Structure 1
């Protein structure tokens, strides 16, 4: 079983998520919140369905997470100017400030991972994994 690719990928994902959760815990931030802030940093605003796909959270669960983040003033909801029936999720200024602090911690984890592999191997692995994605 330890040689199965899916098992290996899932195992390293779990390890990296646990490491990141341990890094975020002293900041009082859940990994899901960090993922959402990261996705919103890459785009000014995102519809819920797009955001759910980007952060690997099912839409029903994402709604609850966004509700908590709205209460914490990290994000806010806004009507889509192109379709008033849709709601966009936007990063609030408090969320931007938090993201900038957390990004430094995330970048350090990323650098640690790259150093464990070597930059060349990390680039190769990223290419391989992107190739596996649909």
Structure 2
């Protein structure tokens, strides 16, 4: 391995990115048993939190292209996890709500994601996990300098 490659692989940005990719992979694999991909899970969770919510607003909140949002919502609706109906405030828009089954799937996905994250953090002692999470939260909450 060259010194340049070792340098890149020692950078915090590289290490955090690699760990994040592994974590996303573990969570994606875990929630796949519920028939969901990561974005399906995020849209379902956002719908539960903000719903009933206009379809377009859901896309803006999650930064999802409207065409992609339609496909995601179609999948969730076909699975019986959400409902789309005309928004009472503006009949030209669809309001999206989570079904009872969607709420149950969210609960199961939360447990699956917790287990996947426990696997990710398994090499660390409990105190190290707490420290890592506290440090990551500080980095996440720090104001951007650009």
Counterpart of 2:36 in 1: which secondary structure?
Answer: coil
Matched residue, 1:95: 102
Q: Is 2:28–2:37's contact at 8 Å kept on the other side of the alignment?
A: yes
Q: Which runs of 5+ in 1 are unaligned?
A: none
Q: 1:61 aligns with which of 42, 61, 68?
A: 68
Pair 105,69 (structure 1): closer, same or farther in 2 beyond 3 Å: same
Answer whether contact 1:75 1:91 (CA < 8 A) is retained: yes
- Which string of whole-angstrom CA distances, capped at 9 and with x for unpartnered residues, describes residues 50-104 of structure 1? 3224445322111111112111111111223333222221111111111111111
Change (3 A) 1:43 1:129: same
For the 8 Å contact 2:27–2:117, the answer to whether it is kept is no
Cα 1:61–1:8, aligned 2, differ >3 Å: closer, same or farther?
A: farther
Q: What is the distance in 2 between the residues matched to 1:79 and 1:17?
A: 34
Match of 1:21 among 25, 28, 47: 28
1:79 — aligned with what? 86
Q: Using the TM superposition, name which of 67-76 and 56-65 deviates more.
A: 56-65
TM-score, with structure 2 as normaliser: 0.72
Matched, 1:131 2:138: no
Which structure has the larger Rg? 2
Whether contact under 8 Å (2:48, 2:97) holds in the other structure is: no
Q: Show the 5 A alignment for 1:24-43.
A: 24-43=31-50
Gaps of at least 5 residues in structure 2 are 1-7
Change (3 A) 1:94 1:63: same
| Distance in 1 between residues matched to 2:83 and 2:41, nearest whole Å | 15
